[in-house]
Copies of this chain bind each other. A is one copy, B any other.
Amino acid sequence: MVAMREPKVFPVFLFLFLSMASGAQHPSLMLSHKNLPEVIKGVDQYPLLKKSFLQVKMLADAALKNPINVPVPMDGGGGFTHEQHKKNYQYILASGMAYQITKETKYAEFVRAILLNYASQYETWPLHPKQKQSNPAGKIFWQNLNDCVWQVYVIQGYDLVYNYLNVADRNTIEKHLLVPVVKFLMEDNKETFDRIHNHGTWDVAAVGMTGYVLNKKDWVEKALKGSKIDGTTGFLEQINQLFSPDGYYTEGPYYQRYALLPFLLFSKAINQYQPGLKIYEYSNGVLKKAIHTALQLTYINGVFFPINDALKDKTFESEELVYGVDLAYADISADADLLNIAEKQDRVIISDAGLKVAKDVAAGKSKPFVYKSLWITDGNKGDEGGLGIVRSGENTDQQCILLKASAQGMGHGHFDRLNFLYYDNGVEVFSDYGSARFLNIETKTGGEYLPENKTWAKQTIAHNTVVVDQVSHFKGELTKAQAHHPQLIHFSPTKDLQVVSATDKYAYTGVDLTRTIVLANFKELEKPLIIDVFKVRSDKEHQYDLPFWYQGHITHTPFQIQSNTKKLEPLGIDFGYQHIWLNASGNSKTGNASVTILQNKRFYTTTFLADTSTLVEFVTLGANDPNFNLRNEKAFILSRQKAKDHLFISLTESHGNTNPTAETTIGFKGKVQSLKLITDTDEVSSFHFVVENKTYTITINYNNKQTFISIK
C-alpha cells in the first residue's frame, strides 16, 4: 500500500470551478431534489432506511415538543447554553429532514422559527464570554470550532426548508444570520480559515457549504483555495496535506474518525454542485482511502485501535463513519463489503447515499468486510513511518497485531515508538491504555483530558514498548518527538508468515530500537505464533524495560516470584512510573520463562528470554491517583537491569479454552519450550525453541529483503 502521490491536479480544478452551476435547486446537499421521491419511497421499503428515519423523526419530534430556546451564549463545554445550542443545530437538521420526508409543514415551520430567532439575536452577541486560552473564541460557543460545526449542520437544515420559506424570511435569515456567521468564520477568524488543520477544515466546510446554498461563488472559491485564492491554503490543500498517501491522519484513528466528517460533508456538497471537479478523485483519491483506512484501523469488534489520545469504546458505529460508509459506497465505489459495516452500524444517513446503501443491504448484496494486513504510511508524503497491521483468521475470530511506527501525531500523540498491540478472539490481549479522560463527565476535571493523561497515558511505560532508564521517549517533549519518526525496515504479509519490522533511532540519544513482529503458522500449534523480537543497541549501559499490559487473569507463572504481599510501593518517581504499584518480581534461572493469562475464555502464554539479569516485574496501575482517575490495568515488565546491547524475544501462543457452561477446560498450558538465543549482531538475530519435541530455528536478516526471516 506504499504509494507516492500523483502530481496535484490543481489547474484542472481552477478551470472547472468557473463552471459552477448557479441557482441550483433545493435541497441539494445530502438529500437532493431529484432523488427525493425515491428516498421517500425507500423509507417505507428498506428496513435500514426506515429505522434510521424513525430515529431522525424522534429527534425532530422532540424538537417540536418544547418551546424554542435560543439562549444568549454564556456557558462553556457541558454547560447549559452550550448544550442547548448543540441540541438546536441537531434539531434544525433533523427537522429539515423530517420535513422533506413527511412533507409535514410543522417541521419546516420549526426550522423557520428557530432560524428567525437566531437571526434576531446573533448580531448582538459579542465573543463568547468563556473563551478558552488555547483556541479562538466563537460567538455561539466558547470555541470558534463549535461555531463552525453549528454552521455545517444549520446550512444543511436551511437547504432542506429553503423552498418552504418565503423570500422575506430567506432575506432575514441570510442577512442577519448566515452572512454574519460566514463573515465571522471567514474574515474575523481568517487565521483558522487558512489553517492546514482539522479546525481549518471545519471552517472552510462551513463557509463553502453555505456558499453553495446561498450561491456565493467567492465564498466557495475561498473555501476551496484559501482566503488569497492562491491554493496555498483552503480545502484542496488540506486534502493534500492532512492525510498520508494511504489516507492516514497523523493524530491516530480516534481523531482520524473525527477529522473525516467535515471532509466528507464538504466533498459531498462539492460533488453535488460541481460534479465536474471530481473531488473524490482529487489528490490520488485520498478521501476514499481515508474512509477505507479508518475502517482498517478497527478490530473485528468495530473498535478503533486506541493509539494516541483515544477513548477506547469508540467504534465504526460513530456518526462520522456512517457518513463515510454511505458516501463511499454510493458516490465513490460500491464495494459490497462496505454494506457489511453499514449493517453493523445499523443505520444510514437520510440521504441519496443512505437510500442506496439501505436498498442494497435489503437486496442481500452485503459481503463480509475484508480486513487486510497492511503497512499504512504516515506523513504527508508517506515517508514518516507508519502503522504495521497483521491479521490472521476470520472476522469472527481474528488474531490482529499492530506495530506503531508512525510519526508523533502532534499534541494528541503518545510517546510510544514501536508500541505493539495484540487482539484475539474478539478482544484485547496486549492493550493500550488510550487516553485518560471521562468525556463530558463534569465531575472528572470538567470532562476534559485528566491530568493523568499527561502523567500516565502519554508516557512510554504506559505502552508495550521499551523504556530506557525509566525515562520516556524524547523525555516526553513534543517538539523533539514531532521532529523525528521511525522507519519501516520490512513488511511482508505473506500467508502463514507475516512480518513487520521497524526501527527508531531518535527516541533516545545513543540507543537504537528495532522491533520485528512475526505471525507464523506452526503445524504443532492451534493458532499462529507471535514472534516479537525487540533489538536494543547502545554503546553505554542502560536499564531496558519492556512492559506487556495485558487484559485477563494470570493462571501460570512457572518461575520463582517474590510477592510484595504486605506493602506496595510505586515502581518509580516520574515518567509514569510513579503511577505503578510493584506487586511482585522474579527471576528465571533457566534462561527463559513464561506467563500464562486467561482472557475471554482463551489462554495466552508468552515465553521469553530471561536469566538472572532479567527481572520480571508484575505491576498494577493506580499509585499517586488521589482522585480515582486511573483504571487498574496490569502488566508484566521484562526489565534488563544493566546492558549495552540487548535482545528481547517473546513468543506468544493463543491456546486452549475454558467453557463455563459445560465446565470444561482444555489446553491450559502452552507448548513452546527451551527458547534460546543463538546470535545477535547488527545484521542478524537468531534463536531457537522447541514445540512438541521439534526444534525450530528462527533467523532474522535485517539487511536482506529477499530472505528477511527464515524458519527452519
Contact = CB atoms under 8 A, between A and B. Distances in A.
Interface of A: 78, 311, 313-315, 317-319, 438-444, 447, 553-557, 561, 563, 565-570, 581, 583-584, 596, 598, 618, 620, 622-628, 631-632, 634, 658, 660-665, 668-669
Secondary structure dominating the interface of A: loop
30 contacts: A314-B661, A315-B661, A317-B661, A319-B662, A438-B555, A439-B658, A439-B663, A440-B665, A441-B668, A442-B668, A443-B555, A443-B556, A443-B669, A444-B555, A447-B665, A557-B628, A561-B626, A563-B625, A563-B627, A565-B623, A566-B569, A566-B570, A566-B624, A568-B568, A568-B623, A584-B626, A584-B628, A620-B622, A632-B632, A632-B634
Contacts of A443: 555-556, 596, 668-669
Nearest to A557: B628
Contact of A618 (B628, B632, B661, B662): B628
A625 B583 CA distance: 9
A122 to B, nearest CB: 25
A645 to B, nearest CB: 32
Nearest to A78: B665
Given A568-B581, A581-B568, A622-B583, A441 B658 contact: yes
B314 A660 contact: yes
Contacts of A444: 555
A554 B596 contact: no
A417 B439 CA distance: 40
Nearest to A583: B622
A439 B555 CA distance: 11
A550 B44 CA distance: 46
Given A555-B441, A618-B628, A567 B565 contact: no
Contacts of A567: 567-569
A217 B520 CA distance: 63
B566 A313 contact: no
A111 B564 CA distance: 55
Nearest to A438: B555
Nearest to A316: B661
A23 to B, nearest CB: 37
A669 B554 CA distance: 37
Contact of A658 (B440, B581, B622): B440
A596 B319 CA distance: 29
Contact of A440 (B439, B553, B566, B664): B664
A89 to B, nearest CB: 14
A207 to B, nearest CB: 25
Nearest to A663: B439
A665 B669 CA distance: 44
A327 B298 CA distance: 45
Given A563-B626, A566-B623, A570-B566, A663 B440 contact: yes
A660 B318 CA distance: 9
Contact of A318 (B447, B557, B661): B661
A589 to B, nearest CB: 19
A591 to B, nearest CB: 21
Contacts of A447: 665
> Would you list the 5 A-B pairs with minimal beta carbon distance, nearest first?
A440-B665, A563-B626, A568-B568, A443-B556, A313-B660
A553 B631 contact: yes
Contacts of A625: 563, 565
